[in-house]
Structures are given as C-alpha cells and as structure tokens.
Chain A
Amino acid sequence: MAVLTLAKAINDGLRAAMERDPKVLIMGEDVGKLGGVFRVTDGLQKDFGEQRVLDTPLAESGIIGTAVGLAIRGFRPVCEIQFDGFVFPGYDQIVSQLAKLHFRSQGKVPMPVVVRIPFGGGIGAVEHHSESPEALFAHVAGLKVVACSNPVDAYWMIQQAIASDDPVIFFEPKRRYWEKAEVDVSAEPQPLHSARVARPGSSLTLAGYGPVLKTCLEAAEAAVADGHDIEVIDLRTLSPLDLGPVFDSVRRTGRLVVVAEAPSETSVAAEVCARVQQECFHSLEAPVLRVTGFDTPYPPSKCEEDYLPDLDRVLDAVDRSMGW
C-alpha cells in the first residue's frame, strides 16, 4: 500500500481519472509547468499535454465560464481555483450557469464540472488565502459540495466527483495537504455523498469536515483521559448533507458538538444544528453546540490561532455539553 500525502492522493486521483477518460481536462492558473502552487497537478501536463492540462489566462470567470462551455461540448473539466478567496470573480458563472443549466434545460445539458478549491486557514498566509466559503456554495441549489479530510478520501472523492454528472465544488483542506496516510487503491470507497463515522464512541458526538476533522480526532483522544468516549463523524458531503449517521449517533450519545472553521452564522454547521434539534429532540441531553470561526473577516495570520477552532476550544465545548 502506498503512503501518500493528501496532495499526492489528489494528484494520483486526477491521474487515474484522466487515464480512464480522455475527456477529463484540468484547467487553472499555474497548473501546468508549475504543477499548481500546492503541486497538486504536478507532472500531469508533462504526461497528458497542454490540451488536457490547461494553463489558463488569469481570470476565474473565464476558467469557470469556459469549463461550462467545454462541458456542453462533452468534456469533463476539473477547474483549479488557486485559493478560496479567489473564487469570487468566478462566482457568477458558478451560480448563474454551472449550478442551473441542468435544471434550466430539464436534463438536456448536464454539467459534469468539478471546481477544486483549497480552503481554510492555518498556513500563515496573507488576506484572501484562508477563507471557508463553503456555505455560499452549499446554499446554491444545483451544486453538490464536498470536503475531503484525509488522503484516502481525497484519492477516491476526486475521482467520484469527476465521474459525477453534476457540478461538484470540491473543497481541499490546504493545511492538511502534507498529512500522510496509507491509501489502498484496490479498496471499495465510500459513496461520495455520505458521512462517515471516523471514530466510534458513546458519550458525545463531534461532527466536522475538512481541516478540523483531525482536530476532532485529537480532541476525542485527549478526552479519553477525562473518561469521555467520543464519537467523531466526518460529514464529507456538505450539500446534500448526509445527516443519517449524525442522527443515529446523537440518538445514542445524546450530545452533539459541531466543529467548523467557517463563521457560524448561517453556516453549514448551523444547518446541522437545526436539523439535529428537529430530528433528535427527544434524545438530546444538552443543547447542540458549535465551535467555529468567528463572525468576522478572516483575521491577519498572527491571530489565526485564536480564530481557528483548536483542541482547547473543542474540549471546552465538550466539557460544557457533558456538564449540562
């Protein structure tokens, strides 16, 4: 079994998808010779040529808009947005065209486009390089939104997203790009739109996705010392949300803490909380709590340790829930 970083796992997944289907294209800024600023597309242009790995002009509306056209023509474009904060020049194309064409054409124009976005903070970057805009996409009907959290998922989910006939916004936790895991490429993968129990437990449920999943697992580990047996759920899919495993878990544990980097108001975490209160009301032994970023613009990087949900803040919420 190969030990891969998350970045390399996506790279291998992209390569496998490109080998399987000649209509799969990679498009983005610096994805060719440079291999992307995070090297996720490293070596692909060398092996597949400049017409399958396109170094595009520097324009996100152009990247997404032409990908829509290429998809109409039968291609399966995978667009790389260099950083989360740079997707907005392309947001109009995503919302107005990519998300709606299948519906507008009543199925005559499918949109098998993947938009890859490295997201989240924790790498000490300047403005616009650390944002968590997933709720802005999850709120748009017609888009599917997923977030991987580890190399195994990264390898499979990117291939499943490319194989999907729907547009998928694919969030990659940039501060976990260098985390390693064994990836068994012959194993049967989880379906793309499903949550997963990452660690079983019985006294409290922690639900998260993307970069905070590792924090949740560490918190669960640390809480053992306090006698808590925490279950951790990786949401994996943000739209549609797969809340079945969360409901099951909360019915057993009676307690839920949702963790995410994004600001909390009208967020994915907020949606999870609302639905759990509705479905699991009689099982709850404490209010559902949230540990998230704050409702402020992402701060200068010297403040990000305070901004990002860390082990202490998660454990603090665990204590509050357990003490209810």
Chain B
Amino acid sequence: MSTPQDWTPPTSTDSHPGHDHVVAGLKGTDEGGADLVQLLTPEGERVPDPRFDAYAADVDVEMLKNLYRDLVLVRRFDREGNALQRQGQLGIWVPLLGQEAAQIGAGRAMAPQDMAFPSYREHGVAWTRGVDPTDLLGIFRGTDHGSWDPKAAGFHLYTIVIGNQCLNATGYAMGQKFEGRVGGDDGEATICFFGDGATSQGDVHEGFVWAAVYDAPVVFYCQNNQWAISEPTERQTRVPLYKRAQGYGFDGIRVDGNDVIACLAVTRWALEECRTGNGPVLVEAFTYRMDAHTTSDDPTRYRLADELELWKLKDPIERVRVHLVRSLGVEPEFFDGVQAEADALAARFRQHCVDMPAPAPDRMFSQVYAEGSPAVDAQREAFLAYHASFEGV
C-alpha cells in the first residue's frame, strides 16, 4: 500500500475543460443533448413536442409578443444595472444577460397563489411577480436587503448564501401540503431557483431528500448557466444535473433555457405536477451566463471567448423576434414600441437609483428583533447622542 510519504505531487497541469474535455466523467458541452426540451429553435423556428405542446397551446401571437416584451424589458434594466455599477451608483450588480428566457418562462408559468424562492440573479422572475425593478436596487446600492414584501409578491427575498433557500422552499411547500392546498387546478405550488454550482451544497441535497419523502409540492429550478464564478459545471457533477432527480425519487427534466416557450411549458407542467400532488420535480434550464458572474468578476481569466460566441447564436431574445417577424408577420412598429418602453423603464430605473436617499443613521438598529431589545435600544440612544454631538461642529 502506498503511504502518504511515497506520494510525490504531480507537476503543473493547465487544462481547461473545453468542449472536447472530459472532467470528472462529464463532457464540457454547449449542447443540451437528446433529452433537451425545445419548442423554438435558435433560428426562430417553432418545433413540435408531443409532450409539452399542450402546455404552450395558448401561446398565440399576442402572448408571444408579451413574452418578447418581458424579455426585452428585463434585459434592458439589467444592462442599466451594469452601467449604474460602472458609474459608481451601485456597489455591485449581478447580471442576468442570457438567462432572460429561463426566468421569464418560469416566472410566467407561476400562478398568483404560488411562491418563489430566488437566489440573487432572479431579476426576471421578480419582474413576473410584479416586483418593481427599482425595488431590486437597494440591495446593490447598499441601502437595504430587499425592499419588497415577500408575502405580497409571492417572491421571497434574495438569498446570497448559495443553496440556503432550497430547504426554506421545501419547508414552505410542506406547509402548503399540510394545509391541504395541494390537489386540483387551484392548488398551490412552490418554485425554488438556484444555480448549477449550488447543486453541490448539502442544503440542496437535503432539500431534495425532504421534498421527496414529504411529497412536497416544490419545483427545483436549476439554471445551469455553465459556470459557478470560475468553475464549470463539470466541477460540480459527473452526471447531467437533471438526471440526479432520479436518485431522490422524483422527475428531472432538461429544458432549453434560452427558449422562453419551452421554459414556460415545462415549468407549467412541473408546477401542475406539484399542484396536483405529483411533485417534487427538478427542472434544469440549460442556459449560459453571457456576462461576468458579477461586476466584480473577470471572466477573461477562465472563460474561452469562442464559447461566448457560440452561445450568442442561441440568444433567447433574438429567436423570439425572428419567429414573430418571419412566421407571425409582426410589424416593425411593435418592436420599436417595445424598445421605447424599455428605454423609458431604464431611465426610470436610473433616476430612482440616483435619487435614493441615504439611510438614516439609526437604520441599522431598525427591526433587529420583533419584540425589541433593551440592549439594542440603549445602543441606538447612545449612538444617536454621539451622532448629534457632531452637529454644528
């Protein structure tokens, strides 16, 4: 037997898991494989799918125009967020570029009574839940930790600790079940958003276990954008992520995350499974993060430029536009209108950001405890007195 003392460290390797590489048994890939559910090709062609067409049967011209509008508006304010960070108005921004369809499709599949548990990149889902984009700004400007009402929106606060929310989502879904809100078309369901990197966390695995053994009505919606900061998906798993579900005893499915119609249809199906008591379900939206992980990240250190070029050809917005024009005959005025609306939204977003007041000095003492705390109250009083001592100096 080799003892640790025999061991000599290997010399440097400089491998990057490119498309031909196999890391931990899994091939780095930009193709979703044979099981990928797709209803609209990157070329803008609507392709049939016997299993999921029924879940997209109502997607007529009007509805597709609405989805297109969602995609464009969300991309527009996301880009404005990036610009605001570059101009020093935001401390950081977490871009969603490339993931618009994965988020709009999933978000628009939700019913009002459903609940979403996001991580921190879900600006598009927030949009579909009626959270005004300006409510996202405080987190990134540093004035609050999320200013919307999670209960009213059916959209929980952003979670920055990776995978943490999966157990919370599962518990929430267990509650929906315990209260008898599952079963039938008006039943409730929960959807939990997380990334490919998050699938390595214990909390996510434990969420899968809990959800399975309690038949919790929760859709685990993994946006596989191929990267966890600098680490490719192959650094997290040896099997395609959607296949993991089988090991926990529920359905897993991979959808083209750049195809908004497919994401809508598949998530509707998954939520219906949960609503009617057949959940949980794992959905892997196969997509790509086209921008940096955050504005603090430098992807040129780890990512190959040709990879980005390949994914640009699969752009989630362009394919809808092509389909609307070529197959459905939508006139240019519509697109101009959406563009104008997007610019107006971006301007409002920017103005709100610049105008945001700085928090009052005692903001940090606010709402630490529901029942208050004499100790914290005393610290607040002392701090305010100290603060006041500078006035007029």
Contact = CB atoms under 8 A, between A and B. Distances in A.
Interface of A: 22-23, 29-30, 32-35, 37, 45-52, 55-59, 61-62, 73-75, 85-86, 88-89, 124-129, 265, 294-297, 299-304, 306-307, 312-313, 316
A88 B160 contact: no
Contacts of B91: 124-126, 301
Interface residues on B, range: 35 or more
B134 to A, nearest CB: 16
Interface stretch (B40-48, B100-108, B184-192, B362-370): B362-370
Contacts of B5: 74
B9 A52 contact: yes
Nearest to A293: B364
A34 B302 contact: yes
Contact of A30 (B140, B229, B365): B229
Nearest to A51: B10
Closest 8 CB pairs of A and B: A301-B142, A74-B4, A299-B364, A57-B200, A34-B230, A58-B197, A302-B142, A124-B91
A294 B378 CA distance: 11
A59 B364 contact: no
A306 B10 contact: no
Contacts of A125: 91-92
B372 to A, nearest CB: 13
The main secondary structure of chain B at its interface with chain A is loop
A48 B383 contact: no
A37 B302 CA distance: 12
A32 B12 CA distance: 12
Contacts of B235: 55-57
Secondary structure of the A contact surface, majority rule? loop
A89 B161 contact: yes
Interface stretch (B13-21, B67-75, B213-221, B341-349): B13-21
B11 A58 contact: no
Given A124-B92, A301-B91, 18 more contacts: A29-B229, A30-B231, A34-B298, A35-B301, A49-B10, A59-B202, A61-B202, A86-B162, A126-B139, A128-B161, A129-B160, A265-B375, A294-B365, A296-B365, A299-B359, A300-B359, A302-B141, A302-B142
B113 interface: no
A306 B15 contact: no
A52 B13 CA distance: 10
B201 interface: yes
Contact of A55 (B145, B230, B359): B230
Nearest to B229: A30
Given A49-B9, A302-B359, A58 B162 contact: yes
B236 A57 contact: yes
A35 B296 CA distance: 14
Nearest to A24: B9
B302 A33 contact: yes
Interface string B379-392: 10001001100100
- Candidate in B16, B201, B390 with the most chain A CB atoms within 10 angstroms: B201
A45 B120 CA distance: 29
Most chain B CB atoms below 10 A, which of A32, A46, A75, A301: A301
B379 A34 contact: no
B140 A126 contact: yes
